[in-house]
Amino acid sequence: MRDANPAQNNQAVHLKDYAPVPVTVTHVDLTFRLDPQATRVLARLTCERRGPGDMVLDGEALRTIRVALDGAEIAPEIEGDRMILRDAPDAFVLETEVEIAPERNTELSGLYISGGMYCTQCEAEGFRRITWMLDRPDVMATYDVRIESDLPVLLSNGDEVAQGVWRDPWPKPTYLFALVAGDLVAEADTFTTSEGREVALNVWVRPGDEGRTSYAMDALKRSMAWDERVYGRAYDLSVFNIVAVDDFNMGAMENKGLNIFNSRYVLASPETATDADYANIERIVAHEYFHNWTGNRITCRDWFQLCLKEGLTVFRDQQFMQDMRSQAVQRIGDVMTLRARQFREDAGPLAHPVRPESFVEINNFYTATVYEKGAEVIGMLRRIVGAEGYDRAVALYFARHDGEACTVEDWLACFEEACDVDLAQFKLWYSQAGTPHVEVRDSFNDGLYRIDMKQVVPPTPGQPDKAPMAIPLAFGLLDTAGNEIRETEVHVMTQAEEHLTFEMAERPVLSMLRGFSGPVMLDHPMEDVDRLRLLAQDTDPFCRWEAGRRLAKERLIAAIGEDVALDADWLDAVAALATDATADPAFRALALALPSEDDLAGSLHEAGVVPDPDAIYAARRHAQMAMAERLSSAIPALRDACATAGQYDPRAEDAGKRALSATLLRLQTFLDGGAAARAAYDAADNMTDRMAAFACLLEAGDESVAARFESDWRHDRLVMDKWFAAQVSHAAPRDAVDVAKRLTAHSLFDPANPNRVRSVLGALTAANPAGFHAPDGRGYRFYADWLLRLDGMNPQLSARLSTAFETWRRYDADRQALISAQLDRIAATDGLSRDLSEMIGRIRG
């Protein structure tokens, strides 16, 4: 696909240029002689010609020792990162021997060392940093792997044949290869599949971390059972290994039979992990496990099809979480994530379709659009064809494409055939970027209720004009007393403008976009009384929450820069929700949370107003203070009612109570300067409660709590990540950059560890926007300095962090000039990675 030296080549690859390989590899035989500075990799590739043309292998940062074709040494034609084999025979064996240095691998791509163990990361194009190979997902081969090392635990994909010898019988692309070697300990268990296969399960960790794996193991077993029950997919090897590593660029990786995880998504104990950590572990363990069918057994033809495995697997993990926890709360949380990350991306210079048409560096496309919007697209498909149609189509997909490398077209064809639908227009969801705006206006006259709908898909980079999309709009109608008079129905909007009419005796209240039935921005003006009615009574929990959210947002926006009092009606509604003992505490916690500062900035920008980060910060504080005052007398009793019985239990029911209690403690802190939080900190017997109190104390300006926390938890790297992040997140905006600077100079700050870096730099940009956007530009300078420094070590990390600048055109001229100067400075730096240079180029626009 890529037709020149990738390391030095900043040229784009295009979907339209896809061509299959002329020579493929059907079996890979690998021997690793592990050494930190000089690992030898011996590869025997069984190759087969499929058509005319040269065989072009990928290799990066390899020292090539020997190359032989059918046993005879050859002098290969190596051009930068490509080895070209001209006139290869129809069938042959290509042998190579290379040397690599895992210890010097700071990119964390290929074979590297983390916390004393060898591990690999091959997605997307890391395998070429291990040995010469056709490093692309449409080349699927079986693998035999021998690991030579004195280390006690030696793992690779598939089933273990002998100590350190592994065979993976399922053909797979290179990106799913994995190897782990180290001094590790495991929690072991077993699972018997519906097909009667005994599977050994292991969660491997460094000595000292045992005892923190049981939740991950439990989540794994529940995932295996769920995929059998809901999708009819059983596991297909005799062993499933999970390994936790400390230095990892992403969340986790679905390597066949050997998932490798960022340790923060495996390790949990009540003392060290929060409810949010437990939920993430459950979701990510499920996600990686589900990839075994959606990604591994059926993989992607090329990287443009990334959403084929990621959108579908995210959708599956969301379904799983809804089944394991509260459906409503899970959906609201997923929508919040989508809006916070994907809508933001879709509205700025980095907007791209769910299936991009070109890229320079594929690692820059593991985005919220491919993952989260990709999942929404699957959800819309299911809504359109119905649950049974979806099941039929998915069953056809598994039956027809098992063992293949597929495209989005293959996937959609299964739906068209199994459900007899035409998806030509629906397919625009894969190719048109930008969040559709849906404008809804309703009116009632003489017994006729009319809903007028208009859709506009805004222009995005490279896509000035858009065609109307197929948008499933789920809606219901309530009467003015709040009773449902029409149950949820789904109208699939296909034209730019449409209307619906209903004969009715009285004006109804429209509950639109139930369950958030499509990833759109809904513009539906409504009287406060109707929103309050939906908030109190809608049968659709998403729309209830959304009604409250709209009310809060309208008030906050009105209050920004003005010193207006918040109206009593709204505060009464907030209080009613907070005190409604019949509602799920997790739902109440969500409904009491105000829209984030970034959400407000985005909404102002949408409305043509330049957001002022300090004014937004002040308006939120002002609203929180008003809520606190309104609820003041109720808070202690409400918090008492949230107390959970017995020992800490991560289950959703208890987590919801803790979330509500934490929300109330935050409000209480506005009133008592931290007295209740101090008591809560001292009384906490779990990390969820401790972190909630810690955040309040930091916001209240408590000067000793950070030192106390540090001396209690210095030894624990995952807890210390929270310590770093909380101090930046909860600093007063004027102090945030100084706090971040001080923390990057702390002895425990390690720029080689992505989690630690994110806990400071990510927290500054994501959780303290008013601090990051300090008017004198010191936040931008500090951040750009770090991007440049990190880029020399870990380009994936610097590129990902650079997205903090994607919203720069929202802000005032002074801030834009300050950011632009930093972007220019980065762009002008010699030796910038391909990853970061692509990102900065796109962000500058």
Shortest Cβ distance from residue 310 to Zn ion (Å)? 5
105 binds, among ligand 0A1, Zn ion, none (CB under 5 to 8 A by kind): none
Shortest Cβ distance from residue 750 to ligand 0A1 (Å)? 20
Beta carbon nearer to Zn ion, 313 or 432: 313
Shortest Cβ distance from residue 616 to ligand 0A1 (Å)? 33
Q: Contact, 354 vs 377, CB < 8 A?
A: yes
286 binds, among ligand 0A1, Zn ion, none (CB under 5 to 8 A by kind): none
Q: Is 121 in the site for ligand 0A1 (CB under 6 A)?
A: yes
156 binds, among ligand 0A1, Zn ion, none (CB under 5 to 8 A by kind): none
CA nearest to 299, candidates 405, 171, 397: 405
The residues in 756-815 that bind ligand 0A1, with binding defined as CB under 6 A, are 796
Can you tell me the distance from the alpha carbon of 484 to that of 264, in angstroms, rounded to the nearest whole number?
44
Residue 625 CB coordination number (10 Å): 14
288 belongs to the catalytic site: yes
Can you tell me the distance from the alpha carbon of 95 to that of 822, in angstroms, rounded to the nearest whole number?
48
Give residue number: closest CB to ligand 0A1.
Answer: 250
List the x/- string, 266-305, binding to Zn ion by CB under 5 A: ----------------------------------------
288, 597, 699, 806: which one is catalytic?
A: 288
Q: Which residues pair with 489 in a beta bridge?
A: 475
| Residue labelled with tokens 């139930």 | 514
Burial class of residue 437 in the structure, from the number of CB atoms within 10 Å of its CB (0-12 exposed, 13-18 middle, 19+ buried): middle
Can you tell me the distance from the alpha carbon of 736 to that of 780, in angstroms, rounded to the nearest whole number?
12
Beta carbon nearer to ligand 0A1, 83 or 124: 124
Q: Contact, 256 vs 235, CB < 8 A?
A: no
The residues in 299-328 that bind ligand 0A1, with binding defined as CB under 6 A, are 310
Binding segment (CB under 6 A) for ligand 0A1, from list 66-74, 120-128, 401-409, 467-475 = 120-128
123 binds, among ligand 0A1, Zn ion, none (CB under 5 to 8 A by kind): ligand 0A1
Residues 6+ apart with CB under 8 A from 565: 626
Beta carbon nearer to ligand 0A1, 288 or 540: 288
Can you tell me the distance from the alpha carbon of 692 to that of 685, in angstroms, rounded to the nearest whole number?
12
Binding segment (CB under 6 A) for ligand 0A1, from list 57-65, 252-260, 507-515, 617-625 = 252-260
Q: Which residues pair with 452 in a beta bridge?
A: 441, 499
Can you tell me the distance from the alpha carbon of 323 to that of 603, in angstroms, rounded to the nearest whole number?
32
363 binds, among ligand 0A1, Zn ion, none (CB under 5 to 8 A by kind): ligand 0A1
Shortest Cβ distance from residue 744 to ligand 0A1 (Å)? 24
Judged by DSSP in three states, 267 sits in: coil
- Which residue among 18, 366, 502, 749 contacts ligand 0A1 (CB under 6 A)? 366
96 binds, among ligand 0A1, Zn ion, none (CB under 5 to 8 A by kind): none
Binding segment (CB under 6 A) for ligand 0A1, from list 12-20, 118-126, 220-228, 377-385 = 118-126
- Which residue among 129, 206, 256, 287 contacts ligand 0A1 (CB under 6 A)? 287
| Residue labelled with tokens 């992505």 | 754
DSSP 694-756: HHHHHHTT-SSHHHHHHHHHTT-HHHHHHHHHHHHHTS-HHHHHHHHHHHHTSTT--TT-HHH
Amino acid symbol at 328: A
Binding segment (CB under 6 A) for ligand 0A1, from list 162-170, 248-256, 263-271, 787-795 = 248-256
The residues in 152-191 that bind ligand 0A1, with binding defined as CB under 6 A, are none
Shortest Cβ distance from residue 825 to Zn ion (Å)? 34
Residues touching ligand 0A1, count (CB under 6 A): 15
- Which residue among 294, 299, 330, 363 contacts ligand 0A1 (CB under 6 A)? 363
Beta carbon nearer to ligand 0A1, 284 or 412: 284
Shortest Cβ distance from residue 692 to Zn ion (Å)? 30
Q: Is 253 in the site for ligand 0A1 (CB under 6 A)?
A: yes
Amino acid symbol at 3: D
Can you tell me the distance from the alpha carbon of 597 to that of 621, in angstroms, rounded to the nearest whole number?
11
| Residue labelled with tokens 């500058």 | 844
246 binds, among Zn ion, ligand 0A1, none (CB under 5 to 8 A by kind): none
250 binds, among ligand 0A1, Zn ion, none (CB under 5 to 8 A by kind): ligand 0A1
Token readout for 492 is 């699939």
Q: Is 252 in the site for ligand 0A1 (CB under 6 A)?
A: yes
Longest dimension (CA), the chain: 90
- Which residue among 25, 94, 237, 250 contacts ligand 0A1 (CB under 6 A)? 250
Q: Is 254 in the site for ligand 0A1 (CB under 6 A)?
A: yes
Beta carbon nearer to Zn ion, 105 or 313: 313
Q: Is 123 in the site for ligand 0A1 (CB under 6 A)?
A: yes
- Which residue among 105, 120, 213, 249 contacts ligand 0A1 (CB under 6 A)? 249
Binding segment (CB under 6 A) for ligand 0A1, from list 117-125, 232-240, 547-555, 800-808 = 117-125
Beta carbon nearer to ligand 0A1, 227 or 288: 288
Q: Contact, 20 vs 407, CB < 8 A?
A: no
274 binds, among Zn ion, ligand 0A1, none (CB under 5 to 8 A by kind): none
DSSP state of 564: P
Judged by DSSP in three states, 171 sits in: strand
- C-alpha separations of 7 from 61, 366, 406 in Å: 9, 19, 27
794 binds, among Zn ion, ligand 0A1, none (CB under 5 to 8 A by kind): none
Can you tell me the distance from the alpha carbon of 676 to that of 693, in angstroms, rounded to the nearest whole number?
9
Beta carbon nearer to ligand 0A1, 310 or 702: 310
Q: Contact, 541 vs 568, CB < 8 A?
A: no
Can you tell me the distance from the alpha carbon of 220 to that of 211, in angstroms, rounded to the nearest whole number?
16
Binding segment (CB under 6 A) for ligand 0A1, from list 92-100, 119-127, 227-235, 739-747 = 119-127
List the x/- string, 308-337, binding to Zn ion by CB under 5 A: --x--x------------------------
Can you tell me the distance from the alpha carbon of 202 to that of 93, in angstroms, rounded to the nearest whole number?
35
Centroid of chain to Cα 518: 19
599 binds, among Zn ion, ligand 0A1, none (CB under 5 to 8 A by kind): none
Binding segment (CB under 6 A) for ligand 0A1, from list 90-98, 121-129, 372-380, 444-452 = 121-129
Beta strands 23-33 and 39-49: pairing type? antiparallel
What HEC string does 669-689 produce?
HHHHCCHHHHHHHHHCCCHHH
Amino acid symbol at 830: D
List the x/- string, 81-100, binding to Zn ion by CB under 5 A: --------------------
- C-alpha separations of 250 from 434, 493, 519, 753, 796 in Å: 25, 37, 25, 11, 9
Q: Contact, 158 vs 165, CB < 8 A?
A: no
Residues 6+ apart with CB under 8 A from 175: 122, 123, 124, 125, 126, 127, 135, 137
Sign, CA torsion 392/398/401/406:
positive
Shortest Cβ distance from residue 126 to ligand 0A1 (Å)? 7
CA nearest to 590, candidates 574, 603, 606, 602: 574
Shortest Cβ distance from residue 334 to Zn ion (Å)? 15
Q: Contact, 497 vs 454, CB < 8 A?
A: yes
721 binds, among Zn ion, ligand 0A1, none (CB under 5 to 8 A by kind): none
Beta carbon nearer to ligand 0A1, 342 or 729: 342
H helices of 527-596, where? Answer: 528-537, 541-559, 568-579, 585-592
Question: For binding to Zn ion (CB under 5 A), which residues are involved?
Answer: 310, 313
Q: List, by residue number, the catalytic residues.
A: 288
- Interface contacts to ligand 0A1, rule CB under 6 A: 121, 123-124, 249-254, 287-288, 310, 363, 366, 796
